[in-house]
Amino acid sequence: MSENTPSPSAGAPTPEADHGFTLRKRRKAPWIAGGAVVVLAAGAFIAVPLLNPAESAAETEGATLHVATAEGNHAEQALIEFIDREVAPKYGIDIEFKGLSDSNTINRAVSEGEVAATLYQHELWLGQVLQANPDFRETAVAPVFRWGFGIWSDKYTSVDQIPDGGTISLYSDPANEAQGLWLLERAGLITLKDGVDKWAATQDDIATNPKNLTFTLLDFGAQSRALPDLDAAVGYTEYYTAAKVPLEKQIFAPAAPDEFASQLTVGTDYLETENIQKLTEAFADPAVQEFLTTDPSVKDLLLPIDAS
């Protein structure tokens, strides 16, 4: 990972984690980084067709291991297909991309062993999923990549040009709103209160806002569509490029912190199986980071762990 690689986590992050963040309940359900889909409250159920109703592929020698992410996420699909083609054979496994419709479906499938793993979420998002769905049993086992994430503007070419009283959009889910506030502080547009847990920050935690900026919360697709009507927005590169917004409109984009790195996430009940151990090794292979560094299919969308 980067200079401060987090240890694999057993389920949701804890307050004692290296970076000192905590997860707090919020009234809004979280939204996925990599698919704008709401997490359903505990007790809700979406039927997921069983890929192998008798036994999980994680427990079956020679079985194809499906790695799921949101349907239509071409960059994550390209990464999984590369690992299947170039890396997995070295570890004696066969993997396959599987697109599923929403966060609840993906996480239930991982928890119940219907798919072997997912990589669509960071640790804070996983923590919110597990908090909302206590019957899910999932563990983040390895960081894989960082999503491209930055400040976008259709009107200005630097953050210094954003005017007094300007309107900036943040994402409408708790984890990514916090990441947006972190980025605005990094850009010098706001400061957060001393001692605040920045990975759970809200607008109430803003200490100074020297330009008297106004913040509006929008979901993933709506934010990129609304960019011409905003002074700036803070969001994921993949949504802007998918909306045909030129990358030149991204005016500030430092590498995301460790807490917002994609995590390979598996069903906790299958952690010790040989298939899952080999899968984890395959995703940690150095060839994966080389692919993220050099391949045009993921350029600027999925960044290597050591991106700076």
In 3D space, the residue among 37, 70, 84, 113 whose CA is nearest the CA of residue 267 turns out to be 113
Q: Give the C-alpha separation, 220 to 295, whole Å.
A: 25
Is there a shared CATH topology between the 31-147+258-303 domain and the 149-252 domain? yes
Which percentage of the chain shows pLDDT scores above 90? 67
Task: Convert the pLDDT of each residue in 98-155 to its tens digit.
Answer: 999 888 999 999 999 999 999 999 988 898 899 999 999 999 999 999 999 999 999 9
Residues 100 and 106: their CA atoms lie apart, in Å, by 6
Distance CA 84, CA 23 (A): 34
pLDDT given for residue 257 in this prediction: 79
Domain boundaries defined on the chain = 31-147+258-303, 149-252
Q: What is the DSSP string of the chain?
A: --TTPPPPBSSS--TTSTT-------SSPPEETTEEEEPPPTT-------SSSSS-GGGSTT-EEEEEEETT-HHHHHHHHHIIIIIGGGGT-EEEEEEESSHHHHHHHHHTTSSSEEEEE-HHHHHHHHHH-TT--EEEEEEEEEE-EEEE-SS-SSGGGSPTT-EEEEESSHHHHHHHHHHHHHTTS-EEPTT--GGG--GGGEEE-TT--EEEEE-HHHHHHHGGGSSEEEEEHHHHHHTT--GGGEEE-PPPPGGGEEEEEEEGGGTTSHHHHHHHHHHTSHHHHHHHHH-TTTTTTEE-TT--
User: What pLDDT is recorded for position 22?
Assistant: 32
* Whether 305 contacts 145, CB under 8 Å: yes
What is the mean pLDDT of the segment spanning 217-224?
Answer: 92
Nearest to 154 by CA among 225, 221, 219, 227: 227
Q: Identify the burial level of 154 via C-beta atoms within 10 angstroms of its C-beta, where 0-12 means exposed, 13-18 middle and 19 or more buried.
A: middle
Contact present, 19 and 199 (Cβ < 8 Å): yes
How high is the pLDDT of residue 125? Answer: 87
**The architecture CATH gives domain 149-252:** 3-Layer(aba) Sandwich (3.40)
What's the fold here for domain 31-147+258-303?
Answer: D-Maltodextrin-Binding Protein; domain 2 (3.40.190)
Alpha-carbon span 148 to 235, nearest angstrom: 9
Alpha carbons 308 and 282: distance in angstroms, whole number = 24
| Confidence (pLDDT) at 54 | 58
Task: Say which residue the tokens 């070295």 belong to.
Answer: 90
Question: Is a pLDDT exceeding 50 seen at residue 28?
Answer: no
- 245 pLDDT above the threshold of 50: yes
pLDDT digits (tens, 9 = 90+) for 29-63: 333 444 433 333 333 334 444 444 458 998 999 99
Give yes or no for residue 185 having a pLDDT over 60: yes
pLDDT for 241 beyond 60: yes
